[in-house]
Chains A and B, each alone.
Chain A
Amino acid sequence: MIEREVTIKNRSGLHTRPAASLVKSAARFKSEFFIYKDGMEINGKSIIGVMTLAAEQGSKLLLKFEGPDEEEAAKAVIDLFQRGFDE
């Protein structure tokens, strides 16, 4: 299992479009992907879940990956966060 903490960089936070890219990116991998924030646990492959996070700029999220391709999954997803979802 891989656990990482990330900070939302892009100005508009994790709104619909970044949420969609996040989910699409995670869906390419077999591994399970969960996001934790303020006591909420959200399946990172669910768009409605990620939208519900209401994660604004500057907020911190804990990401957990578990499965056969967890390293690749973590790399791809964290890369997205670091690029600020190309916004």
Chain B
Amino acid sequence: MSAEQQVKKEVILKGIPASPGIAVGSAYLFIKETPRVEEKNLEENETPQEIERLGHAIEKSRKELHKILTFAQEKIGDAKSKILEAQIMVLEDGVLIGAIKKRIRSEKKNAEYIVNHEIGKYANLMLMAHDEYMHERAHDMDDLKNRIIRNLQQEKLVSRLEGSIIVVAHTLTPADTMILSRNHVLGYATDRGGITSHAALFSRSLKIPAVVGLGDVSRHVVTGDHLVIDGYSGVIVINPSKKRIQEFESKLERMLKFESKLVHFKDLPAETKDSHSVELSANVELPEELDYVVLQGSQGIGLYRTESLLIDRDDFPSEEEQYAEYKKIAARIYPHRVIMRTFDIGGDKVAPETAEETNPFLGWRGIRVGLDRPDLLMNQLRAMLRASTRKNLAIMFPMISTISEVLKAKEYVQKAKAELHSKNIKFNDKTQIGVMIEVPSAALCASRIAAEVDFLSIGSNDLTQYMLAVDRGNPLVSQLFREVDPAVLITIKHIINAGHKRGVWVGICGEMAGNPLVTPLLVGLGIDELSVIPSVLPEIKKIIRSSYFKQFREIATEALQLETAEAVEAHIRKFFKKHFPDIPINNNN
């Protein structure tokens, strides 16, 4: 063993490949759950700046709390909103803030340290009270303290990171990913999460390699460690040897060569050899992705996740802000179409911290939030309608479970139109209205729902998890999450038939649509539109263009006869080996 190896041992960890690509670089360990507070001494002339930093963090925390409060007041109940009110009052406590500022000046220590100590002092006194109520208040003060410290550190995080990094974290929330992405990120590696976690979606759309579900990578890595991350196979190597790095580099070369062969497909339509065409569009989360989406030859946006407007901000965007954003997107993608989904918040997509629910996936999310907060929904609908003047914007509602929800949502669209009309504001009166079919009840009643809308879009992630009763984020059962389970396939077939019977088109915008292995099945089942992560567009187009619709229909019919997900997978693999021997099949698929 060489001296170098003795110092830093090579460690190989295996996780879930979440976004393809290979990166070599140094690690940045992102810790956030309980912010670690370091004690730092300041120079005399640094204290005014430190106090200013404190002011910003307090203001940001105050806005965050107000946002949570106004957003979810009715839902989280009086007791919980009183707690938030109390936290806001403490943030406005002049005596407390004055004491913190005074200590920063006199002790010449960093704001995090003083905030931690000063608020911690009160929390400890509350803990000494031997009284349940006071213990809860102590917990609230801890929460508040951590919020301020987090906001102090986040400010630094954005400006401080230098050079290229591979982010290593326990978990990443949408907001974390967003903030980190302002730095030059080469890759992501996380302890938790599956291929549908936010970090995975995000990194795939930006073509950044990612490996998730690594278990305890964040314990093995310290900031500055050298790392190789292989998003094809889900392997990460800590302190790799030179030889190891060479191996990965040549693998990357091989993979890139394959990908480059796909480039010439991008401007051709997604059409089979026997002229059956499918609309191939992209799922988009951030305006920054649009150039890439166009470059990849997308025929439009099948799902624009408007939730990205909520990330990393303190309040809800106004109608004007939303309008400006939507208009920009519709103009950029013109003449193609963009389907904008109203805010799908709740469940795993919690943007503002909402009510704590014991079972969020069966809770307050999607259209349920919209119908409960018509003011927010109306703002968004007016903004979308105003952005529809190019006639290339469609509106889609998430998490529909009953027909009455569809009818109510449509009433709001009518109301929004009437309001715009009375103000002489232009919009496309024929704006297509569609719904996501992702709840089994809606899937079963798809035919009746289809009679009320212009299109259906299958949300296969949620549909699969609700059909099979499997939480894809729970490692104990996540292996049971199988999109090609016969129950899911039969349901998808049912939805497509229901839509076609009513003369409306049916798309799919879940992860499944972006899995090239499933493309033959979905096209064969009669899907009209596939909305996929932008990075796989050329590959999926290649598959469609090199086959006959007849072949797809055959394999779909055969798959529907099979009894297990394993059998379906084996069948698909056989099909691919025969027809597409040059497509590298890996665990990712």
| Residues of chain A at the chain B interface (Cβ within 8 Å) | 15-17, 20, 23, 27, 40, 43, 45-49, 51-52, 54, 56
A20 to B92, CA, bound (A): 11
Kindly list chain B residues whose C-beta atoms are within 8 Å of the C-beta of A15: 133
* 14 pairs, CB–CB < 8 Å, chain A vs chain B: A15-B133, A16-B82, A20-B86, A23-B89, A43-B95, A46-B93, A46-B94, A47-B86, A47-B89, A47-B93, A48-B96, A48-B122, A51-B90, A54-B134
> Taking CB as reference atom, which chain B residue is nearest A46?
B95
Please state if B122 and A17 are interface contacts (CB–CB under 8 Å): no
Q: Mark B123-142, 1 if CB is under 8 A from A, else 0.
A: 00110010101100100010
Contact A54–B129 (Cβ < 8 Å): yes
Of A40, A51, A56, the contact of B137 (CB 8 Å cutoff):
A51
Whether the Cβ atoms of A51 and B96 lie closer than 8 Å is no
Contact with A along B433-451 (1 / 0, CB 8 A): 0000000000000000000
A35 CB → nearest B CB, Å? 12
Is there an interface contact between B86 and A49, defined as CB atoms closer than 8 Å? no
Known: A23-B93, A49-B95, A54-B126. 15 other contacts (CB 8 A): A16-B137, A17-B82, A23-B89, A45-B94, A47-B86, A47-B89, A47-B90, A47-B96, A48-B96, A48-B122, A48-B141, A51-B122, A51-B137, A54-B129, A54-B131
A48 touches B90 (CB 8 A): yes
Q: How far is the CA of A46 from the CA of B141 in the complex (A)?
A: 14
Q: Which of B82, B86, B94 contacts A51 (CB 8 A)?
A: B86
* Distance of A48 Cα from B134 Cα, bound (Å): 12
Among B76-126, those with CB < 8 Å from A are: 82, 85-86, 89-90, 93-96, 119, 122, 125-126
Residue of B nearest to A20 (CB): B89
Main secondary structure of the interface of A (DSSP, over half): helix
Which of A23, A27, A49 meets B122, CB within 8 Å? A49
Q: What are the 3 closest A-B residue pairs judged by CB atoms, nearest first?
A: A46-B95, A54-B129, A16-B86
Known: A16-B82, A54-B129. A45 touches B137 (CB 8 A): no
**Are B137 and A46 in touch, CB under 8 angstroms?**
no
Q: Find chain B residues with CB under 8 A from A20 CB.
A: 86, 89
How near does chain A come to B147, taking the closest CB pair, in angstroms?
A: 14
Q: Which residues of A contact B93 (CB under 8 A)?
A: 23, 46-48
CB distance from A36 to the nearest CB of B (A): 14
CA distance in complex: A49, B141 (Å): 12
CB distance from A54 to the nearest CB of B (A): 4
Contacts of B133 in A (CB 8 A): 15
Expressed in whole angstroms, the minimum distance between the Cβ of B62 and any Cβ of chain A is: 14
| Chain B 329-345 interface mask (CB, 8 Å, partner A; 1/0) | 00000000000000000
Tell me the complex Cα distance, A20–B89, Å. 8
Q: Which residues of B contact A47 (CB under 8 A)?
A: 86, 89-90, 93, 96
Q: With the chains together, A51 CA to B86 CA distance in Å?
A: 10
Question: Could you tell me the distance in whole angstroms from the C-beta of A25 to the nearest C-beta in chain B?
Answer: 14
Q: In the assembly, what is the distance between CA of A68 and CA of B129, in Å?
A: 35
Q: How far is the CB of B379 from chain A (nearest CB, A)?
A: 32
Residue of B nearest to A54 (CB): B129
User: How far is B98's CA from A27's CA once the two chains are assembled, in angstroms?
Assistant: 14
Q: How far is the CA of A23 from the CA of B95 in the complex (A)?
A: 11
Residues of the A chain whose Cβ atoms lie less than 8 Å from the Cβ of B95? 43, 45-46, 49
A44 to B124, CA, bound (A): 19
Least Cβ–Cβ distance between A81 and chain B, in angstroms: 20
Give the chain B neighbours of A40 by CB distance below 8 A.
125
> In the complex, what's the smallest C-beta–C-beta distance from B209 to chain A, in angstroms?
46
A54–B125 Cα distance when bound, in Å, is 9
Decide if A52 touches B126 in the complex (CB within 8 Å).
yes
Q: How far is the CA of A51 from the CA of B119 in the complex (A)?
A: 12
**A43–B93 Cα gap in the complex (Å)?**
11
Query: For the complex, what is the distance from the CA of A54 to the CA of B136, rounded to whole Å?
Result: 12
Contact residues in B for A43 (Cβ distance below 8 Å)? 95
Assembled-state Cα–Cα distance A23/B96 (Å): 12
CB distance from A61 to the nearest CB of B (A): 15
Residues in B whose Cβ lies below 8 Å from that of A16:
82, 85-86, 137
Q: Which residue of A lies closest to B133 (CB)?
A: A15
A52 partner residues in chain B, CB cutoff 8 A? 122, 125-126
- Which residue in chain B gives the minimum CB-CB distance to A12? B133
Which A residues are CB-close (under 8 A) to B96?
46-49
Shortest Cβ distance from A57 into chain B, in angstroms? 12
Question: Nearest-CB distance from A67 to chain B (Å)?
Answer: 15
